[in-house]
């Protein structure tokens, strides 16, 4: 699954540590999500969407949707 | 929430953000400390019981009980560690536990066949393969999601 987390974070000039703190997760988790190594759970995806004021599907995009 | 100004990056940094790595580190250190305490207690109790220095009576029983008490602290610290961990850390721990328990179980089962062929009987030392595989599993997970 692709996501725009890194772009959204950069727009706010936040560090990974800052975003991790806002989401109450580790910096490792933020990095793993940004690099696509880890897909967050639905509750965490909702927290991310709420934090950036966007819908989940505006942040996370299924690979199958982008390829079709 | 109170905010500070990080002069190095000129971006606002929360107190919580600054404290988070140290809190994670302190959880890991606490777990490592009680695990070390258990290991020392276990090795000490084993040597004491083998040395026959202990007087007869209740003392050897108390010495034999000591590692189990220490193990209770390890389990409590590990449960607290898991409870305070985030979802990725829990996933990594789950992979470590799967490697440790699953791998250890299959190693012990496999070794029982070698015992039938004349290999020396499996001692308590062979159980050490479980924490060993657990650590390997956690390290692989940490590397995978680094």
Q: How far apart are CA B43 and CA B35, in angstroms?
A: 12
Token reading at B51:
């040395």
Tens-digit pLDDT profile for chain B (146 aa)? 444 444 334 444 455 545 555 667 788 888 899 999 999 999 999 999 999 888 888 999 999 999 999 999 999 999 999 999 999 999 999 999 999 999 999 999 999 999 999 888 888 778 889 999 999 999 999 999 98
What average pLDDT does range A11-34 have in this prediction? 95
Q: How far apart are CA B64 and CA B20, in angstroms?
A: 39
Chain A contact for B3, CB < 8 A?
Answer: no
Sort B39 into a burial class: Cβ within 10 Å, 0-12 / 13-18 / 19+.
middle
In angstroms, the separation between the Cα of residue B130 and the nearest Cα of chain A is: 26
Chain A contact for B16, CB < 8 A?
Answer: yes
Chain A contact for B17, CB < 8 A?
Answer: yes
B88–A38 CB contact, under 8 Å: yes
Residue whose C-alpha is closest to residue B73's, from B40, B47, B103, B44: B40
Instruction: Return the higher-pLDDT residue of B126 and A56.
Output: A56
Whole-model pTM above 0.95?
no
A56: alpha, beta or left? (left if phi > 0; alpha if psi -120 to 50): alpha
Q: By the 8 A CB rule, do B3 and B12 touch?
A: yes
Residues B56-96: tens digit of each pLDDT: 889 999 999 999 999 999 999 999 999 999 999 999 999 99
A21–B9 CB contact, under 8 Å: no
Question: What's the DSSP call for residue B85?
Answer: S
In angstroms, the separation between the Cα of residue B99 and the nearest Cα of chain A is: 20
């Amino acid at each position: 699954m692709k996501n725009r987390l890194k772009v959204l974070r950069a727009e706010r000039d936040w560090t990974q540590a800052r975003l991790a703190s806002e989401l109450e997760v580790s910096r490792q988790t933020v990095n793993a999500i940004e690099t696509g190594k880890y897909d967050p759970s639905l509750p965490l995806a909702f927290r991310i969407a709420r934090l950036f004021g966007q819908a989940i599907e505006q942040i996370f995009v299924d690979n199958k949707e982008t390829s079709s | 929430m109170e905010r500070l100004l990080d002069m190095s990056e000129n971006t606002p940094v929360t107190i919580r953000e600054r404290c988070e790595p140290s809190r994670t580190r302190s959880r890991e250190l606490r777990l490592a400390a009680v695990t070390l305490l258990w290991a020392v207690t276990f090795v000490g109790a084993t040597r004491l019981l083998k040395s026959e220095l202990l007087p007869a009576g209740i003392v050897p029983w108390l010495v034999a009980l000591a590692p189990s008490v220490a193990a209770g602290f390890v389990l409590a610290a590990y449960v607290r560690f898991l409870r305070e961990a985030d979802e990725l850390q829990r996933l990594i721990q789950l992979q470590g536990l799967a490697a440790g328990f699953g791998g250890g179980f299959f190693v012990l089962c496999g070794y029982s066949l070698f015992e039938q062929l004349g290999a020396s009987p499996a001692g308590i030392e062979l159980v050490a393969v479980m924490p060993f595989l657990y650590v390997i599993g956690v390290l692989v997970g940490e590397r995978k999601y680094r």
